[in-house]
Structure 1
Amino acid sequence: MPIDAAKALAAGPRSGEIHWDRRDVQLYHLGIGAGRPATDPDELRYVLETRLHVLPSFATVAGAGSPGVISGLSMPGIDVDLAKVLHGGQRLEIHRPIPVAGTATATGRIAAVYDKGKAAVLVMRTEVADADGPLWTNDAQIFVRGEGGWGGDRGPSALPHSRLRSSGGTPTEPPAGEPDRTVELPVREDQALLYRLSGDYNPLHADPEFAKLAGFDRPILHGLCTYGMTLKAVVDTLLDGDVSRVRSYTTRFAGVVYPGETLRVRMWRGDARVRVAVGAAEREDAPVLADTIVEHS
């Protein structure tokens, strides 16, 4: 079996030093659509070095995103076909604001392996700390088609990736009632090509032939690009543009986004949290992100 759950869970963590600077932050922000309009003072906070702040979702690519989804596939006990891999969900916990430039130690391990019958789910946990202490913790859910069925722990009842109807996943309904705010975010035709320069070079997002092998008509946008675009919308719309207020951010990737489409982001304000639903506007709000929560101060 390509996935040896016991071996993966028993493997020791991998640690390495990561670095980032303002150019990495600026490139990431441009990759998620920041800087439009180019003269907007609020947008310049994301792209102009003299005003720069860091959107917390930058943590998913800091140090070129390593360790992360791709590195998780090289952990002991894991040997799978990249064409069968999809990013199922993401949880980010921010321990303190991310500096514009830094050096830190990233420690990654497989925290869980779930048997979903027709698929397996790996949870890759990455903890990052610098000389002043913990900075953030990332949990990436990696969905691997065709690798379940060994009789292991099924894990949470909700599948992390409901794009795959054959696996039996059911998208969670968004909150009842009208959202407090709704914004629409255009996805540029070249956005995946720009976003991948932050470190995720999976050919699923750039190579039409590879995308077809993976079951898609054409390359799809990185789920983490949608993730970053959505957090920026929440921060700018409901958190007064203050990135330091974000405490955690959780989502399940419920569907694909194609470059050139429009994201419709609906937000429901609660006590110290914002619930979010994201759909593809041109496809009758087909779910893109589900079970999405931003916890804040």
Structure 2
Amino acid sequence: MPIDAALALAAEPRTGEIAWTAKDVQLYHLGIGAGVPATDPDELRYTLESRLHVLPSFATVAGAGSPGVISGLSMPGVDVDLTRVLHGGQSLTLHRPIPPRGTATATGRIAAVYDKGKAAVLVMRTEVADADGPLWTNDAQIFVRGEGGWGGDRGPSTRSHSRVRSSGGTPTDPPTGEPDKVVERRVREDQALLYRLSGDLNPLHADPEFAKLAGFDRPILHGLCTYGMTLKAVVDTLLGGDVTRVRAYTTRFAGVVYPGETLRIRMWRRDGSVRVAVSAEERDDAPVLADTVVEHC
């Protein structure tokens, strides 16, 4: 069996030093659509070094996201075909606001392995700390098609209608009723080309021929770009533009986005959190992000 769950979970964590500058933060913000209008004071918080605030989802690319998913897929006990790998979900817990520049130690390990029958799910955990203590924890949920069926723990359900859990473990229900806010965000034609400069150079997001081999009509947007665009919309719309209010952010990737499409972002206020659903407007509101929660103070 290509995945040996016991060996993967027992493997020694991989540790590396990461660093980022204000320029890395600005590039990431531009990659998720910040800076429009260019002279808007609210947008200058994301683009001008003298006013720079760091959107927490920057944590997914800081230090080019290493050690991350690709590193995790080469851990002991894991030997998989990358063409069978899908990014299923992402969770982020903030321990402190992210500074505009810094150096830190990132420790990556496989935190869980689930047997879904026709697929295996690996939870890749990256914990990042600097000289002052913990900064953030990232969990990437990775589906590996064709690698389940060994009789292991099935783990939590990932169906869109299932109950989901916040980072603190408290069950929450899918949002119902009219959303408190709906915004639309246009994805630029060159959005994926710009976002990939923050570290994810997968040709699926740039090369039309590669995208066709993967079963898509054309290159698709990075799921983590949609993830960042959505968090920015929530912060700007319901959190007063204050990035430091975000405590945790989790989502399940429910569908693809093509550059040039429009994201429809629906938001429901809850006590200490915002529930979110994201769809592609031009494709009859096809789901893009589901089971999405932004926890805040």
Query: Same fold judged by TM-score > 0.5?
Result: yes
Q: Is the 8 A contact 1:73 1:79 kept in 2?
A: yes
The answer for unaligned runs of 5 or more in structure 2 is 161-171
Residue 132, structure 1, aligned to residue 126, structure 2 = no
Residue in 1 that maps onto 2:281: 281
Deviation at 1:158, TM superposition (A): 2.2
Residue 86 of structure 2 aligns with which residue?
A: 86
Q: Shift of the alpha carbon at 1:187?
A: 0.5
The unaligned stretches of length 5 or more in structure 1 are 161-171
Aligned length: 287
Deviations 1:145-169 (A, max 9, x none): 1111222211112259xxxxxxxxx
How far did 1:208 drift? 2.2
Q: Structure 2 length as normaliser, TM-score?
A: 0.93
2:9 is equivalent to residue 9 of structure 1:
yes
Q: Give the stretch that moved more between structures: 217-226 or 149-158.
A: 149-158
Kindly indicate whether the alpha-carbon contact (under 8 Å) linking 1:83 and 1:213 is maintained by their aligned counterparts in 2.
no
Q: 1:214 Cα shift?
A: 2.4
Equivalent residue, structure 2, for 1:97: 97
Separation of aligned partners in 2, 1:115 and 1:255: 22
- Aligned equivalent of 2:122: 122
- Structure 2 matches for 1:111-260, cutoff 5 A? 111-159=111-159, 174-260=174-260
TM-score scaled to structure 1, two decimals?
0.93
Partner of 1:67: 67
Matched, 1:290 2:290: yes
Task: Report SS of the residue matched to 1:64.
Answer: helix
Kindly provide the CA deviation profile for residues 189-236 of structure 1, in whole angstroms up to 9, marking residues without a partner as x.
Answer: 111111111111122212223223322222211111000000000000
Matched position secondary structure for 2:57: helix
Distance (Å, rounded) in 2 between the aligned partners of 1:60 and 1:148: 27
Q: Secondary structure at the match of 1:106?
A: strand
* Structure 2 residue identity aligned to 1:18: I
Q: Secondary structure at the match of 1:201?
A: coil
SS in 2 for 1:44: helix
CA distance in 2, matches of 1:211, 1:51: 38
Q: Which 10-residue stretch deviates more, 89-98 or 64-73? A: 64-73
1:117-144 CA distance string (max 9 Å, x none): 1111100000000000000000000111
Inter-partner Cα distance in structure 1 for 2:211 and 2:88: 17
Shift of 1:174: 5.0
Secondary structure in 1 aligned to 2:50?
Answer: coil
Identity in percent: 86
- 1:169 alignment counterpart: none
* Alpha-carbon contact 1:84-1:214 (below 8 Å) kept: no
| Runs ≥4 residues deviating over 6 A | none
